[in-house]
Structure 1
Amino acid sequence: MTPEQPRGGTELGRFLRARRARISPAEAGLTAGPGPRRTPGLHREELAALAGISIDYYTRLERGKETGPSTSVVDALARALHLEETEHEHLRGLAVLANRAAPEPPAAPSRTVRSGVRLLLEGLRPYPAHVVSRTDDLLAWNPGGLRLLSGIAEQPARQRNLARYLFLHPTARTLFPDWDHQVRGCVARLRALAGTDPDAPDLARLAGELLLKSPEFARSWERYDIKAPTHGRKAFRHSEVGDLTLGHQSMEVEGTPGHRLITYYAEPGTPGHDALVLLDLLGSQPTPHAPTSSQREPTSFGP
């Protein structure tokens, strides 16, 4: 992308096109005409009419040739597409980016995890916890935080990535009984990043790899979901501690943009908590493949 080109316009158009394809005339309050429709979702002229804008203007907007939609146009499109609030905010952000000239390529995000955060990971034991980058690179962990993800410790530390693990590691589909749900949330986080920073080289590398290697990722990527859960319950079918359902919480790490701390927990005295104690113990033991404790292996890596 050259400095003269508008930044994010293509992402705006693709988002609109994907969402237009996902809403039926009936859902939009329209009566479909007789005979089968050649394409799913709303036609361009139907969405333009619902939003109160011309078909020519909407077509230019979707194709990236119109890069300065007003707030009222964006809000009208969000209403016509029945977007939820998070999706509406995402569309607003894309519209702002579409009207900006591309700056110089951004600096690579830091992979360094502060010593205080590493101490926090140790303090959370026996609860599994790890720190990930904005593209889900695994940057730091405590023993249970690595052992919970069966098989990921066998990969070189710098290649450990939650998205890569979900789509490419053979164990992931067994570990997560609701694998389909897990991958949707993962892709939604990456799609949201593509909307706020479409020039991100770290995202381009990861998405490019997964688009080539995983048909499931390619299908999810084209859905343009941007909502991802930050807390809730997650089920595991773990080869060492059996079936368990854990609470999980994801939090931004203040002072280090893009870093998230993810931790899993269970009520003390429950079988789930006993399983976490065992995972922490197992994760503390050296293995032939690689050290698993954040104290035995560096927990932060340079660019």
Structure 2
Amino acid sequence: MGDRKQVQTDIRRQIREFLTTRRARLTPEQAGLPVYGGNRRVKGLRREEVATLAGISVEYYIRLERGDAAGVSEGVLEGINHALQLNEAERAHLSDLVRACGDNRPLKLVSARPSLRPPVQRIIDSMTTTAAVVHNGRLDVLGANALGRALYEPMYADPTRPVNTARFAFLDPQARTFWRDWERIAADSANLLRAEAGRNPCDHDLTELIGELSTRSEDFRVRWARADVRIHTSGVKRVRHPVVGDLELPYESTPLLADPGQILLMYTAEPDTPSADALRLLASWAASQPSWDGA
């Protein structure tokens, strides 16, 4: 059993940070509100302006922004979503926080690190020209095929297990060379962890990871304070690999529905490009290495 009071305190803090930062980023002009003369003393919208846009009382909104969100209706949530112009990831995050705030069931701290089921490992092993990696919401790498393991080779240099992409991004000096667009990767990592903290506020390992990164990395603290969230779907990763050089790899991610919390990430290369040649070379190099533990 865990400390329900401490978890609820953390959830209320997350709600406060999230709503405050969303309100601060939105100007009256963006919200379609009239702007009168004089200097505004607050950055972004005032609480009363958000309340008006959401169709609720100022007192009620102030209570919500302080983190007292138990029992908030879907209608009120939709009003706040509209008022703050939240995107899909932000709407889901706020909904997760509100749901967690109202959860009074006996608390069980989540700490187990799930392993990859053998059928999943066999499936990704069959992807010989695709780098495949499975991670969880904490960004722990749970498994990979040979090409995925080779792609993530610099992360495995740290003996800490499980391999964790956020820990690598913020605590390993190699990360700024490996990720050619490190700033974006760093922001994405913090945003994904923030979203996971809303989904699973009782995850002890996640709490420890966030504490470690906050203590050891100013770069993480700055990005965490923004309270941004992100949904990991698709894009392009730009890598400078120590074995094969520069790679630009389109990727797709998909949740493994039979294994809640596990996400399959697949990297490919555009045909007839230098990245495709480099990925084939990396596959050859991976085949020449001793047998690897996927995690």
Find the residue that maps to 1:228 and give its secondary structure: coil
The alignment's TM-score, normalised by the length of structure 1, stands at 0.86
Amino acid at match of 1:278: L
* 1:66-85 → structure 2 map (5 Å cutoff): 66-85=69-88
Q: Which one is further off, 34-43 or 124-133? A: 34-43
Deviation at 1:157, TM superposition (A): 5.6
Number of corresponding residues: 292
Identify if the C-alpha distance between structure 1 residues 96 and 133 changes in structure 2 by more than 3 Å, giving closer, same or farther. closer
Q: Which of the numbers 116, 119, 124 marks the counterpart of 1:116?
A: 119
Residue 99 (1) aligns with residue 102 (2): yes
Identity of aligned residues (%): 37
Whichever residue aligns with residue 223 of structure 1, its letter is R
- Cα 1:23/1:253, change in 2 over 3 Å: same
Answer with 269-278 or 164-173: which moved more. Answer: 269-278
Q: Give 1:156 shift.
A: 1.5
In the alignment, structure 1 residue 254 sits paired with structure 2 residue 257: yes
Counterpart Cα distance in 2 of 1:97 and 1:175: 37
Q: Trace 1:206-285 onto structure 2 (pairs within 5 A).
A: 206-285=209-288
- The alpha-carbon distance between structure 1 residues 21 and 131, as it changes in their structure 2 partners (threshold 3 A), is same
d(CA) in 1 for partners of 2:200 and 2:207?
10
Secondary structure of 2:161's counterpart equals helix
1:178 aligns with 2:181: yes
**Which protein has greater RCO, CA pairs closer than 8 Å, 6+ apart?**
1
Shift of 1:191: 1.3
* CA-atom RMSD in angstroms: 2.4
Structure 2 residue identity aligned to 1:210: L
Give the 3 Å change call, closer, same or farther, for CA 213–37 of structure 1 in structure 2. farther
Q: Secondary structure at the match of 1:158?
A: coil
Kindly state the Cα deviation for residue 172 of structure 1 after the two structures are TM-superposed: 1.6
Check if 1:10 corresponds to 2:13: yes
* Counterpart residue number, 1:296: 292
Letter in 1 for 2:100: L
Structure 2: distance between partners of 1:218 and 1:102: 31
Q: Residue 132 of structure 2 contacts residue 148 of structure 2 at CA under 8 Å; is this kept in 1?
A: yes
Unaligned runs of 5+ residues in structure 1 are: none
Q: Distance in 2 between matches of 1:225 and 1:79?
A: 17
Query: How does the TM-score come out when normalised to structure 2?
Result: 0.88
Instruction: Point out where structure 2 has 5 or more consecutive residues left out of the alignment.
Output: none
